[in-house]
Amino acid sequence: MIPRTIFTEEHNMLRETARHFMQAEVAPHHERWEEQGYVDRDIWLKAGAAGFLCASMPEQYGGAGGDILHSVVLMEEQSRIGASGLGFPLHSEIVAPYLLHYGNEHLKSTYLPKMATGEMISAIAMSEPGTGSDLQGVTTSAVRDGDSYILNGSKTFITNGWHADLVIVVAKTDPAAGSKGISLFVVDTSMPGFTKGKRLKKAGMKAQDTSELFFDNVRVPAANLLGEEGRGFQYLMQDLPWERLQISILAIASVEAALDWTLRYTRERKAFQRPIAEFQTVSHALADIKTELQLGRVFVDRCIELLLEKKLDAATASMAKYWTTEMQFRALDRCVQLHGGYGYMWEYPITRAWADARVQRVYGGSSEIMKELIGRSL
């Protein structure tokens, strides 16, 4: 593989520590978490104690004071063992930055330290039963009433939703204003009128506590408005390139792990008295995967560099998200094929990774939406 040049020795040391943590604290339990439909809450506290939550947040708010690359390392090590039940990336690199960038001092000092320790688990509520990638179509409403907003509506497919103590909610404050009528609110899940629906049963990512959320006249203090009223859509669009790049980072790390598992299996599995890795059709398939993996790795690393330089645009991030997730599913499907019948057995990590990968082409903006966004930039 082409050597990676974006990490320092500090990042490499973090990788060793994170890899040990994932192997010792996560891997032994993940199968049980998949069966119960959610991870144990204490893994959040352990990750917080290790400094693995909100790693790029400032120390004054309980974060580790690292940079984006610290978070990239943690994402890669999580994906490397197929730990799809951990909602750490969304918590640390989507919700926390919204609070840091757009929240007032009270919101930041109240919630970020608890998020960094794992005491509070966070989510972001965008998707609705009738609205997916089209955020302008949300119907959840927030009506000003004195020094509060009254929130009504429902959300679905919410990562960390069942465990969540804190949710950033996308709502309409002015239904007639289109994208300029969308605002973001910080909702504490203890607020009266807020309820969590059932955990959703999914084809993959079975340990992830994805759920529905309901808001019935939830009174949210006006101080819990993130940024300015009516600018929520703008804030979402500003942060989407990084959010989509995170999905690409996870996709590449997943393919890297899948290739390692498949190489190991094909070198051990024999047919006609020799390892199946020695058959040309198998070695060529593995060569295809490794080549596409390397191409994706170089592109994603370059996108990370552009992000650090504040030059990553929406179209480039969309290209990364679209290509890497499509490549991921192709690669994992071929790896399943090379495992033969065992590739369809849930006890094998390749099977679970394959099931987990399918949704990557959907969430964060479907592949079709990504192509639409890329097309607009031509």
Which residues are known to be catalytic? 243
The span from the CA of 92 to the CA of 96, in Å, is: 5
Contacts of 368 (CB under 8 A, 6+ apart): none
Which of 75, 53, 77, 76 lies closest to 64 in space, CA to CA?
53
The span from the CA of 234 to the CA of 128, in Å, is: 19
**Strand blocks (E) in the chain:** 122-125, 141-145, 148-158, 166-172, 182-188, 194-199, 211-221, 225-226, 270-271, 274-275
The helix/strand/coil state of 171 is: strand
The span from the CA of 34 to the CA of 144, in Å, is: 41
Helix axes 9-21, 68-80, angle to 10 degrees: 40
Q: What does DSSP say about strands 122-125 and 141-145: parallel, antiparallel, or unpaired? A: unpaired
The span from the CA of 71 to the CA of 57, in Å, is: 10
The span from the CA of 347 to the CA of 82, in Å, is: 12
